Amino acid sequence: MDRMDLHGIGMTSRRTRERLVQRLLDQGINDSVVLDVMRTTPRHLFLDEAMAHRAYEDVALPIGHQQTLSQPYVVARMTELLMASGPRQRVLEIGTGSGYQTAVLAQLVGEVYSVERIKPLQQKARQRLRQLRLRNVLFEHADGCMGWPEYGPYDGIVVTAAPQRIPEELLSQLAVGGRMVLPVGGDTQDLHLVTRSSSGYETEVVESVYFVPLLPGKER
């Protein structure tokens, strides 16, 4: 990518991004490391041109294939919850989508293993991460309901599409000491934080959210 993409004026202006970070602060995001990454990650690069001018609004935006780029507040909140008890080395992400949450995670954890069921979305995301020189990410085109057992267990799991119930496979791929953040539900959904200790799993319901559904199978 050339310098213009990253530092161009207008939608990438410092003021525009500061406004977003201020909004995140106002909404209770207070992990300064997470806020710094939200400030510097160029969200407009994860959108098609027609949508890019809205990149620094705190809203979910369409990315095609009936999917959406998550709202910045939700990305920040999930990331903050994931990181809350110390650094994460291996993080599984289900629902790569645009790759925006992937890019945020890649700057904060050791390695990201990201699974997406729609091939063209995965391909675009892979390109964007390469442009940004974020190299600690592996992508997989698969049904994330099965997790990605090959590289597990993971000390962090983030799911960005909502299952009706937490998939068993994801629970079993969570390491002892690991944290999983995911939306659960249908028409109404709640963000869940699952922690695994040597004695079992504990689940905390955080707040209500709205995500696209976690769907079975994969699409070409």
Residue 140 makes contact with ligand SAH by CB under 6 A = no
- In whole angstroms, the minimum distance from the beta carbon of 199 to ligand SAH comes to 29
In this chain, which of 116, 134, 173, 192 binds ligand SAH, going by CB under 6 A? 116
The one-letter amino acid code at 74 reads: V
What are the phi and psi torsion angles at 85 (to 5°)?
Answer: -110, 25
What separation in angstroms does the CA of 44 have from each of 6, 49, 51, 120, 142? 9, 8, 8, 18, 26
Alpha helix segments (H runs only) across 141-220? 168-172
Binder among 17, 24, 42, 67 for ligand SAH (CB under 6 A) = 67
Q: How far is the CB of 29 from ligand SAH (least distance, A)?
A: 16
Per CB under 6 A, the list member of 12, 52, 55, 95 interacting with ligand SAH is 95
Interaction of residue 79 with ligand SAH, rule CB under 6 A = no
The reply on whether position 6 binds ligand SAH by CB under 6 A is no
- Rounded Cα distance between 178 and 164, Å, is 22
Residue 42 found at the interface with ligand SAH (CB under 6 A): no
Task: Provide, rounded to whole angstroms, the least separation between the CB of residue 54 and ligand SAH.
Answer: 14
State the DSSP string of 102-132.
HHHHHTTSSEEEEEESBHHHHHHHHHHHHHT
Binding-site size, ligand SAH (CB under 6 A):
24
The string over 167-187, giving b where at least 16 C-beta atoms fall within 10 Å of a residue's C-beta and e elsewhere, is beebeebbbeebbbbbbbbee
Judged by CB under 6 A, does residue 92 bind ligand SAH?
A: no
Catalytic annotation present for 198: no
What is the CB neighbour count within 10 angstroms for residue 32? 9
Beta bridge partners of 201: 196
Is residue 173 near ligand SAH by the rule CB under 6 A?
no
Kindly list the catalytic residues: 70
Q: Which residues bind ligand SAH (CB under 6 A)?
A: 63, 67-70, 94-95, 97-98, 100-101, 115-118, 121, 143-145, 160-161, 212, 214-215
